[in-house]
Amino acid sequence: MPSLMGTMKQKLFLTLLIFFATAISLRAQDTVLRSPVHGKLDSLHSAVLNQERLFQVFLPYDYKQEDNKKYDVLYVLDGDNWNTGLVAQTQRFVQDQGFMPQTIIVSVMGIDRNVELTPTHLDAWKGSGGAPRFLAFIKNELIPYINQHYPSNGDNTLWGHSLSAMFAVYALLNEPAVFKSFIAVDPSIWWDNSLVAKMAAAKLKSLPLANTTLYVAGRAGEAMNGMKIDTLETLLKQYAPASLKWKVQSYDKETHSSLRFKGTYDGLKYTYEGLTPTLLFHPMNGIVQKGQPVNLYIDGDTTGVHYTLDGSMPTAGSPQVAQQQAINGPGTVTYRAISNRPRYDKVNTGTFTAEQPPIPVKSNAKWQSGGFNYAYYEGDWSAWPDLKKMKPIKTGIFGKNFNLDSLPRKSHFALAIDGMFEANEDGYYIFFLNADKGSRLLIAGKPLIEWGGDYTKPTYSYILPLKKGFYPFRIEYLHQQQDFKLEK
C-alpha cells in the first residue's frame, strides 16, 4: 500500500510541525495529599556545652538510602515546632516550584535562647552571653555529626528569626566558612548597643568568603530603625566584599511574627537565585544556511542565563541571553543558567551544521491526503528493535481520528509511522518530538531527533531549510511508560 500524505503548513514559528505531544496523565489531575515526612529525633552529648542536645532531622520526602544522593542542609535555629514546621512547609513549596533543590532540614532545638543566642552578657538578661560556645557547638559537634550520619553534601544554610537571626549574622561574621548562606528574619541587631553591627564594620571587608549569600528581612518603617536593621544595611553597603551577595528587604504591614513566612520564602529563593529546573530552547539542533539567520527561543525566565556561540562554557562574564537569540550560521550554542551554588548550574547545548538538507522527492499521483501508514508491534524493549523479520500485529492509518487507546496494549509496544509531508514554500521548518526513550524522527531516511529526555526535558526539536516539495518521514515510537499518552 503506498504511503499516505499529510499536508503541513509553514512557516517557522508561525505554524509548527508537531508530530507528538505527550500528556502526562499523573500531572493532569488532582491527587490525594500524601506528604511523607522522614523526620528523626536525634541527640548527641556536647562536650562544648557539657549537656545532651536534642535536634530533629527531616530528610527529603522521597529520600531512599539506596540512591546514595547527597543534599544541602538547612539549619533552623529556635527549632521548635512552630519555626521548623513553617520553614519546612515553605521549603517544600519553594522546592516544588523549582526554585531550590531537595534539602535536609535540621531543627536545632534550644534549651535557653536568651543564653545560647546572645553574644555578650547583659545584666537584664539572665545567663546571656553564650553565643560563642553555642556557635562552637554547631561548628565543631553538630555539623560534623550531621555530615557523618546523614546524606549531607557539606553546603549549609543557617536560618534564624529575631534573636536567632541576630545570631545568624553573628555566625557569618565570626565563622564565615561554616555556612554558605544565611537567612536572618527581623534580626535583633539592637542587642548590646548594636554589637553585631559594630562587628560588621570591623570584619566585613576582610571576611574570607566564597559565593556566600545573606538575606535579611525586616519590617518597613520605624521597625527597621528599632531593630537597627537599617544600620546593618548601611554597613553592608559600605563594607561588604564582592564575595558576599546580600540583600536587605523591608516588608509593609507585617508583624515581628508574621514576617517569618514572607521572609523565609523570599530568603530561600534568594539563596538559590539562578537555579532553574530546566533550561530549554527551540530549535535545539539543526541545519542553518549562512546568510539565512535562525532565531532560538528560550523557554522561561532568562535571568542569570549566559551563552556562547563557539562551544565554550559560558561564565558570568559571557553575554546574557534574551528571550529570542539569533544565530547567523553554523556553530555550537551553549547556554548556562548560573546560580548562587555552582553545583546546580544548568547547561544546554545546540549544534547547528551547514550540511546539505534533504532534497524533495517527485510527487506521486497515488498519494492521497488524510493520514500516514502505521505498523504496531508488541514487545518489552529498551531500544528500538530490529523489525525487519517481525510481522506487525496491527497496521492502519494514523489520521485525525486515530485513537491510541484502540491499540491492544497501553505500554510495551512499538509504533512505526511512515508517510510524506508537503513543504508549500521554501524556508525553514522546525520539527518537534515528544516521545519515550528509544524513539526517533527521520526525514528522508536521516535521523534528526533521538528522544532521551524526561519530565523536565519532554520536547526535542530540529530545524531544517527545505525547498518546496514532498519529503518522506518516519517516526519510530517506542512506548514503554504507561503514564505517557501519545497524542496527535
Note the pTM of the prediction, 2 decimals.
0.81
Average pLDDT score, the chain: 88
Domain definitions of the chain by residue range: 5-28+357-487, 38-271, 280-353
Above 80 in pLDDT, residue 16? no
Label residue 5 by pLDDT band (50, 70, 90): very low
Above 70 in pLDDT, residue 32? no
pLDDT (tens digit, 9 = 90+) per residue, 376-386? 999 988 889 99
pLDDT (tens digit, 9 = 90+) per residue, 364-406? 767 777 789 999 999 988 889 999 889 999 999 988 888 877 8
Query: Helices 191-203 & 163-174, crossing angle to 10 degrees?
Result: 30
pLDDT (tens digit, 9 = 90+) per residue, 231-265? 999 999 999 999 999 999 999 999 999 999 999 99
Grid coordinates representing 230? Answer: 537599617
Quick count: other Cβ atoms within 10 Å of Cβ 36?
10
β pairing state of 305-308 and 331-337: antiparallel
At 401, the amino acid letter reads N
Grid coordinates representing 54? Answer: 536534642
25 within 8 A of 483, measured Cβ to Cβ: yes
Domain covering 5-28+357-487, topology? Jelly Rolls (2.60.120)
> How many angstroms separate the most distant Cα atoms in the chain?
100
Calpha distance 488→400 (Å, rounded)? 7
Calpha distance 149→403 (Å, rounded)? 52
Calpha distance 270→304 (Å, rounded)? 13
Above 60 in pLDDT, residue 9? no
pLDDT (tens digit, 9 = 90+) per residue, 118-165? 999 999 999 999 999 999 999 999 999 999 999 999 999 999 999 999
**Element of type H or E holding 199:** helix 191-203
Residue 400: per-residue pLDDT: 80
The CATH label, of 2.60.40, 3.30.460, 3.40.1620, 1.20.120, for the domain at 280-353 is 2.60.40
Lowest mean pLDDT among 1-10, 131-140, 248-257, 350-359: 1-10
List CB contacts of 257: < 8 A, sequence separation 6 or more: none
SS3 percent helix, strand, coil of the chain, rounded to 5, is 20, 35, 45
pLDDT (tens digit, 9 = 90+) per residue, 409-442? 888 899 999 999 899 999 999 999 988 888 999 9
Lowest mean pLDDT among 63-72, 346-355, 420-429, 447-456: 447-456
Check whether domain 38-271 has CATH 3.30.1360.170, yes or no: no
What is the rounded end-to-end Cα distance, in angstroms, of the chain? 22
SS3 391: coil
Per-residue pLDDT, averaged over 62-76, amounts to 93
Give exposure, 260-275, as e/b (b: 16+ Cβ within 10 Å): beebbbbbbebbbbbb
DSSP string, 72-116: EEEEESS-SHHHHHHHHHHHHHHHHTTSS--EEEEEE--S-HHHH
Phi-psi region for residue 180, left (φ > 0), alpha (ψ -120 to 50) or beta?
Answer: alpha
At 274, the amino acid letter reads G
Per-residue pLDDT, averaged over 191-206, amounts to 97
